Amino acid sequence: MPRLKFQTLTEQMFYVLLCLRQEQCGMEILDQVDALTGGRVKVGSGTLYNLLEQFLDAEMIRETKVEGRKRSYILTEAGRKRLAEEYQRISAQAEDYKKLMIEGGDLP
C-alpha cells in the first residue's frame, strides 16, 4: 500500500516537525535531529530539503526569514495539529504495547 502523504509521519518527518516547534533553518534541523535522537535517526540533507518543500506546500510550516543561503521555518497551526495527532497515534500504540506486553493484559 503506498503511504498517503502525511497520514502517518515517518520518523524523519516527525523529528523535522518537532524541531520546528521553534524557528530553525535547515542546517540547524540536521544538527538537532541528530542530537535529539542520539544519532539514531539520520535525515539526509536532500531528504530534508524535499521534506521542507512538501511541508511548506501542505502549509504545515511557514518560512520566517532568509539570511544568505539560510532559510528559517516554524510550525504553523496545521503543523502543530498534525504533530499532536501523530503523538496521539504513537502514544496509543505505546499504551497498547504496555497493556498487553508489560502488564500481561488480554484483548478486550
> Interface with other proteins by CB under 8 A: which residues?
1-3, 10, 12, 26-27, 30, 42-51, 54, 69-71
Least separation in angstroms between CB 92 and other proteins: 23
User: Which is nearest to 83 in space by CA: 26, 22, 15?
Assistant: 15
Least separation in angstroms between CB 11 and other proteins: 10
* Residue 7 cell numbers, joined: 497520514
Least separation in angstroms between CB 15 and other proteins: 11
Q: Measure Cα distances from 89 to 11, 40, 84 in Å.
A: 13, 21, 9
Of 21 and 42, CB closest to other proteins: 42
Of 70 and 98, CB closest to other proteins: 70
Q: What are phi and psi of 30, to 5 degrees?
A: -55, -45
Of 49 and 87, CB closest to other proteins: 49
Check if the beta carbon of residue 23 is closer than 8 Å to that of residue 15.
Answer: no
